[in-house]
Amino acid sequence: MERMQGEAEGDHLERPSPLTDKERVMIQDSWAKVYENCDDTGVAILVRLFVNFPSSRQYFSQFKHIEEPEELERSAQLRKHANRVMNGLNTLVESLDNSEKVASVLKLLGKAHALRHKVEPVYFKILSGVILEVLGEAFSEVVTPEVAAAWTKLLATIYCGINAVYEEVGWSKHSSSSG
């Protein structure tokens, strides 16, 4: 069953405190392992997003009506976006000590998804949960509870940044083409 949280009124976002040096190192070390398996991990994350949260498929013209995980996995549009997500995360992870770069990446991402693709921002939060889940399962030897906590913080920071860009560009639910 699809359950979504996060857009309820009063769901105020608190920007997490900046990452500590130790957290940064934990994220970068664990990411190195994940990124070695970039294609498989990216596809696993997106297939899980689209299977567990079917409404997230609405934005993707080529597979919005596909339900079968195996068929989703073969979709060229899904695989392309998986790649973009992994490369986006890679750039952010590589730039953890450069807050201006992080801000500019989030700005581009937020603007493209709000203005061009009209994606509800809550899907970034949902995707964060799926990323954590898949990393924890597929890389359990490196994603210890402490490492997972650092990732939780980074993903919350990304989501807050994206959300701020959505606000800046005047996002409102009514701008969504799906109503």
Annotated binding site: 81, 113, 117
DSSP tag of 113: I
Q: How far is the CB of 49 from ligand HEM (least distance, A)?
A: 7
Nearer to ligand HEM, 85 or 147 (CB): 85
Task: Find the shortest distance in angstroms from Cβ 31 to ligand HEM.
Answer: 13
Output the CA–CA distances (angstroms, integers) from residue 156 to 5, 36, 116, in the order listed: 14, 24, 23
Task: Tell me how far, at minimum, the Cβ of 119 lies from ligand HEM, in Å.
Answer: 4
As a dihedral over the C-alpha atoms of residue 49, residue 53, residue 58, residue 61, rounded to 10 degrees, the angle is 30
- Binding-site positions for heme b read 81, 113, 117
Residues that bind ligand HEM (CB under 6 A): 56, 59-60, 77, 81, 84-85, 88-89, 109, 112-113, 116-117, 119, 123-124, 127
Name the residue with the smallest CB distance to ligand HEM: 88
Q: In terms of CB distance, is 148 or 154 closer to ligand HEM?
A: 154
- Please, which residues have CB within 8 angstroms of residue 83's CB and are 6 or more apart in sequence? 38, 39, 42
Minimum separation from the CB atom of position 64 to ligand HEM (A): 10
Distances (CA, A) of 113 to 1, 13, 17, 83, 123: 25, 19, 25, 16, 10
